[in-house]
Amino acid sequence: MKKLFLFIGALSMSFLNAQDITDALRYSQQDIIGTARFRGMSGAFGALGGDLSALQINPAGSAVFLSSYGSITLSSTTINNDASYNDDRFLNGFNNSSSSNFNFNQLGAVFIYDHYDEESSGINKLSLGLTYDQTADNADEFFTFGQSRNSIDSYFLTEAQGIPLDLISRRPGETPSELYAFLGETEGYSAQQAFLGHEAFVIEADDLDNPDNTTYFSNIAPGVFDQEYFYESTGLNGKFTLNLGAQINRDFYIGFNLNSHFINYDKVTEFFEGNNNPGSNVNEVLFTNRLSANGAGFSGQIGAIAKVSQMLRLGVSYESPTWYYIEEETIQRIETISDTDGRAVVNPDVVNIFPEYNLRTPESYTGSAAILFGQNGLISLDYTYKDYTAIELSSDFANSFTSVNSDIDNNLQGVSIIRIGSEWRNGNWSFRGGYSYEESPYKNELILGDKNGFSIGAGYSFEQFRFDVAYDYTEQERLERFFPNSGFNNFAFVDTYRDTLTFTLGMVF
């Protein structure tokens, strides 16, 4: 029977369940990404409209356009990460990592239909919008190093305790790939990790002659360990939007969005540990993990804008949860150097396919106000509330996410998001600035801090064309655990700074 599972494993398929609160939160957040005019005002467009990315805050904004309009947006982002190792008992390293990427992050058009008998219907204008917007840039990279008294052996020991030695020991002629795949098919994630640690000589059974042995010890002696951790992620999230809007009785705008979302996320981490501790049989460990995630989802939005007076506009909008369907895959590799066994490389080359699961993100509510100074300028304010405890994971494969959902309820919270923007005009020129603040979704802000940002921008209109440019900057601190929810709890503090230049070309037609 086991040979049948081994054959399936050779096809690089194994199934396990290891999603956690980090995954749930990662796919539930959205950044301020859009047109240069939108970013130049830090996204404070809920009561304004008249910009294609403003539709993502308040769908009623499409009906504010006077004529049909289209735009395309490109941006260049630089990410700087200052990473420091966690162990206060040692003078640990500080490292700065910098990376850049170039993205096509917005495309769309709004079509205006204003041939209506407004006296009989009260409708002055209808609008139809079709847009693509990037909602998250998943590019990130950092490197950290330092010394610690905690060894990676605790990761493998925790996973291995209670697992029979016979289960993680290869049969004659059996390859590491076959056993690793078999364990994934039949036993799950912990058994695979125990196998990796045992096969690479990091851990050993207390009783080698007993196939029913379920306790293990480390081949790495206690002491001081030199450790390095490298993290790199790529990909982006985005959504396609179908928008319908209307202007009613001149002073009231309503709108509705149907959104189709996608997720593309790839991450690789590499952990190295070295030691010269007396009595240590293993002196070096290199543990590599790769994660790929793809998802699709849908959501809806509804909003309204009211002209209260010539100077004051108010807006309100609601965004439903996004219901995602997500697939994740991982690949693992471990390499060790031992005084007694030399170099050991365990590279199963097997793709672990996680059971497909469902993610429901939080809904959000936005209230907005804008003060207009005729054609000269404006000041705009948005306030959004989002309760991250509403995140929920589930599965059609009878997987239990009770523990993860409980962690979400206990560790996350509702957050306030504030965006302030201003725009001033001089002839064909426009000048903009803005500020944004987003509360940490964690009750413990050491895990993930508040996000702060500011922006500036300018635009020039000529004939039916408009060219806009913006610069925005955000900063946020976070605690990055190397192996979350494991027996090895080392981490790094990471300060992230993002600088983005955005360019938009728009056209009235």
Mean pLDDT of the chain: 91
Nearest to 201 by CA among 350, 346, 348: 346
Q: Is the pLDDT of residue 361 over 90?
A: yes
Q: HEC profile for 460-488?
A: EEECCEEEEEEEEEEEEEEEEECCCCCCC
Gyration radius of the chain's alpha carbons:
27
List, for residues 181-201, the tens digit of each pLDDT value.
999 888 888 999 999 999 999
Residues found in the chain: 509
Nearest to 21 by CA among 491, 403, 446, 477: 403
DSSP of 149-191, one letter per residue?
S--THHHHHHHHTTS-GGGGSPPTT--HHHHHHHHHHHT-HHH
DSSP bridge pairs for 99: 79
Place of tokens 């992050």: 105
Q: What pLDDT, on a 0 to 100 scale, did the predictor assign at position 398?
A: 60
Residue 56 identity (one-letter amino acid):
Q
pTM reported for the whole predicted model: 0.88
3-class secondary structure, 407? helix
Mean pLDDT, to the nearest integer, of 263-277? 96
Q: What pLDDT, on a 0 to 100 scale, did the predictor assign at position 32?
A: 73
Strands 491-508 and 465-481 turn out to be antiparallel
DSSP of 20-58, one letter per residue?
-HHHHHHTT-----S-HHHHHTTT--TTT--SGGGGGT-
Q: Measure Cα distances from 369 to 49, 256, 306, 444 in Å.
A: 12, 19, 10, 31
Contact predicate 157/487, CB 8 Å? yes
Strands 377-387 and 342-346 turn out to be unpaired
Contact predicate 454/67, CB 8 Å? no
Contact predicate 70/506, CB 8 Å? yes
Distance CA(346)–CA(331), nearest Å, equals 12
What single DSSP character describes residue 442?
B
Q: What pLDDT, on a 0 to 100 scale, did the predictor assign at position 241?
A: 97
Domains and CATH numbers, the chain: 18-166+223-508 (2.40.160.60)
Mean pLDDT, to the nearest integer, of 433-438? 97
Q: Which two tokens stand for residue 130?
A: 């079709």
List, for residues 298-345, the tens digit of each pLDDT value.
999 999 999 999 999 999 999 999 999 999 999 999 999 987 778 999
Q: What pLDDT, on a 0 to 100 scale, did the predictor assign at position 20?
A: 81
Distance CA(94)–CA(87), nearest Å, equals 12
List, for residues 81-96, the tens digit of each pLDDT value.
999 987 665 657 788 8
Mean pLDDT, to the nearest integer, of 239-267? 96
- Report which secondary-structure segment, H or E, holds 452: strand 451-462
**Chain centroid, CA 3 distance in Å:** 39
Q: What pLDDT, on a 0 to 100 scale, did the predictor assign at position 90?
A: 60
Distance CA(87)–CA(69), nearest Å, equals 55
Is the alpha carbon torsion for 354, 292, 499, 136 positive or negative? negative
Q: What pLDDT, on a 0 to 100 scale, did the predictor assign at position 272?
A: 98
Q: Which two tokens stand for residue 415?
A: 């957050």
